Amino acid sequence: MRSDSVKVGDAQAPHRSLFNALGFTEEERKRPLIGIVTSYNEIVPGHMNLDKIAEAVKLGVAMAGGTPVLFPAIAVCDGIAMGHIGMKYSLVTRDLIADSTECMAMAHGFDGLVCIPNCDKNVPGLLMAAARVNIPTVFVSGGPMLAGHVHGCKRSLSSMFEAVGSYAAGTITKEELTEFEEKVCPTCGSCSGMYTANSMNCLTEAIGMGLKGNGTIPAVYSERIRLAKHAGMKIMELVEKNIRPRDIMTDKAFKNALTVDMALGCSTNTMLHIPAIAKEAGVELNMEMVNDLSAKTPNLCHLAPAGPTYMEDLNEAGGVYAVMNELSKKGLIEEDCMTANATTIGENIKNCINKDPEVIRPIDNPYQATGGIAVLKGNLAPDTGVVKQSAVAPEMLVHEGPARVFDCEEDAIAAIKGGKIVAGDVVVIRYEGPKGGPGMREMLNPTSAIAGMGLGSTVALITDGRFSGASRGASIGHVSPEAAVGGPIALVQEGDIISIDIPNRKLDVKVSDEEMAKRREAWVPREPKITTGYLARYRELVTSGNRGAVLEIPGKK
């Protein structure tokens, strides 16, 4: 066993004395040591139940003959961090989570890991760590929140942010705003739409690292506790068979993840996280794959914010495996991939039927023939820009309008709420990328303000930052190269005509090459906004959004 390095032999007598100090018996030491990394805390609603999940996992490990050892990971609540300096500290935690988990796993000789994340950066951060450490690992998340109910309709956090915009526009009263506040988030769990947390938890099933239901069983269901016990038992089988993350997270598995991403209509943040995880697994991904897969993968689900259904509905309809089963009918799933079940994807999904064709459209009757995400290119985004096309109003799929340029999120929000943005405008928010932020903030406040003020089908938003999975509309993010390194988005001027053509994957500013060259000569890099602490170090190491905002030593690939 790998843990013998800290348990067996005369030289390990000091190590054993420290296990004695922990209260470990000799019997416990002789069993495989299973690290259980949990991001439980009391500030993130999606993580407040993870103590119960961890206890269930520990029981499952012990029942199957292992010794469970708990240790923590940090977590930021994107909703609470939204709209202020806190959002600069969201994406950056992905790497802290990966690094700290690597440190704990390597320092203590664990034989296997059970990862218990739930929200946006914890899932990819722990997947990155799993690929990097490459010891048997299984994922079990905390599960999604149940939808709230306001005026007889299901609602979620995106409804809350849009209600703020509606209140600013005078279309709802303060009393109605308060009702939303009290009802849209009724339980613990990751927010109830197909936002980033739920997108990534669903993709743990698609990529093979999570068991059936990991992405969809609601946080408050006892079925989630049973799933956690099974995850604890399953890790012992993976250790016995030496099935490791890199045996599971292969190039075919990432293809499956991207395909399911397109079918579900996942958050655009997956376009940051999947490449970052693949890099740790030694798999080369490029953004061209996304459009290729999107072209042949139908969009089968319209979960909030794209439509009126929620994670609980997807769970009742059969979950991720039912979606994969639909996709397999047209040969879109690589079925021979190994999974954390110690069985193949094909074996996992073969009997998983679609129980609700209104939630999961049949493969022959999709919402749209192409996938939920599109990657755009053009003279405004020479590398890439990313849009959740399944959440764009049909009339905004092709749009031209004047640029309304802002150098930070706060200025854009003030203009939107101040009534200075009108139908047809293209809001450009720049210097919010991985380096420029630093930290690549999510732009849920401006997109929600636009929607809440009734402009969602007439105004586009383009940024070198990113969007929450709760954003909807013509919201194009990850524009690369970013403004902070002199990308074309830094050269856009007020009133320039922006051309958006999502079906043809184009994003351009209608300015001549000669004029852009003149502007480039006059452009002066901005002084960093933050020069101390972790964000300053992050800014020096982070790459562009089109590469997953991964960290690299300058000059090294």
What is d(CA 557, CA 552) in angstroms, rounded to the nearest whole number? Answer: 7
Structure-block tokens of residue 422: 């009108």
β-bridge mates for residue 190, sequence order: 144
Cα distances from 460 to residues 39, 370, 372, in angstroms, run: 36, 21, 18
3-state secondary structure of 153: strand
Task: Kindly report the backbone phi and psi dihedral angles of residue 299, in degrees, each rounded to the nearest multiple of 5, phi listed first.
Answer: -85, 115
Rounded distance between C-alpha atoms, residue 349 and residue 354, angstroms: 11
Longest Cα pair distance anywhere in the chain, in angstroms?
Answer: 76
Strands 112-116 and 137-139: parallel
Residue partners of 494: CB distance under 8 A and separation at least 6? 402, 403, 404, 405
Give the chain's radius of gyration (CA, Å).
23
The DSSP-derived string for 411-472 is: HHHHHHHTT---TT-EEEE-S-STTTTTS--B-HHHHHHHHHTT-TTT-EEEESSB--TT--
349 φ/ψ angles, rounded to the nearest 5 degrees: -100, -5
Do the bridges between strand 33-38 and strand 112-116 make them parallel or antiparallel, or are there none, so unpaired? parallel
Distance CA 317, CA 493 (A): 48
Give, to the nearest 10 degrees, the angle between helix 196-207 and helix 270-280.
40
Q: Distance between CA 207 and CA 378 in Å, rounded?
A: 31
Backbone phi, psi, residue 510, to 5°: -85, 70
Please tell me the distance from the alpha carbon of residue 488 to that of residue 480, in angstroms, as a whole number. Answer: 8
Instruction: Provide the token pair at 164.
Output: 């703020």
Segment holding 498, helix H or strand E: strand 497-501
CB contact at 8 A, 256 and 217? no
Enzyme catalytic residues: 468
Six token digits for residue 6: 């800290």
Residue 268: in which H helix or E strand, if any? none
Half-sphere exposure of 543 (CA within 13 A, CB side): 19
Of 224, 363, 389, 220, which Cα lies nearest the Cα of 298?
A: 363
**Dist. CA 220–CA 235, nearest whole Å:** 24
Which residue matches tokens 């080369």? 284
Close Cβ partners of 514 (under 8 Å, ≥ 6 residues apart): none
